[in-house]
Amino acid sequence: AQSVAQPEDQVNVAEGNPLTVKCTYSVSGNPYLFWYVQYPNRGLQFLLKYITGDNLVKGSYGFEAEFNKSQTSFHLKKPSALVSDSALYFCAVVNDYKLSFGAGTTVTVRA
């Protein structure tokens, strides 16, 4: 079965610093990978996806992710974090026509 892992439960960064949220995948074949974000008291929102093509994917709110086949990773990045980026981030992979999600990473951006 296809799966993803998020090795960090929490990430803390200062506002203005780069933000990285890690995700590794375990799949057979070519993976379809996603990032979703859950802001406090709000529903999950799509950020970006990788299906095929350019390894660097750009998404909403200034986020991007790099697909790295050799390292089986799909890390989410933002060059300069904002306090408003504080949220719960989920990596996900398509698995038998549905999404399988990682355990999530809580990001806290301090002012």
Residue 79 C-beta: closest distance to another protein, Å: 23
Please, which residue, 52 or 111, has the CB nearer to another protein? 52
Biggest CA pair distance of the chain? 42
Nearer Cβ to another protein (28/42)? 42
Residue among 12, 21, 108, 17 nearest 73 (CA):
21
Distance CA 10, CA 6 (A): 10
- Please say which residue, 78 or 102, places its beta carbon nearer to another protein: 102
CB of 16 vs another protein, minimal distance in Å:
29
- In this structure, the number of other CB atoms found within 10 A of the CB of residue 110 comes to 11
User: Quick check: 83 and 110 in contact, CB under 8 A?
Assistant: yes
Measured from the CB atom, the residue of 15 and 86 that comes closer to another protein is 86
Least separation in angstroms between CB 74 and another protein: 14
- What residues form DSSP beta bridges with 10? 106
Write out the H or E segment, with its range, that includes residue 54.
none
> Which residues lie near another protein (CB under 8 A)?
32, 34, 36, 42-46, 49, 51, 90, 94-104
Least Å distance, CB 78 to another protein, is 19
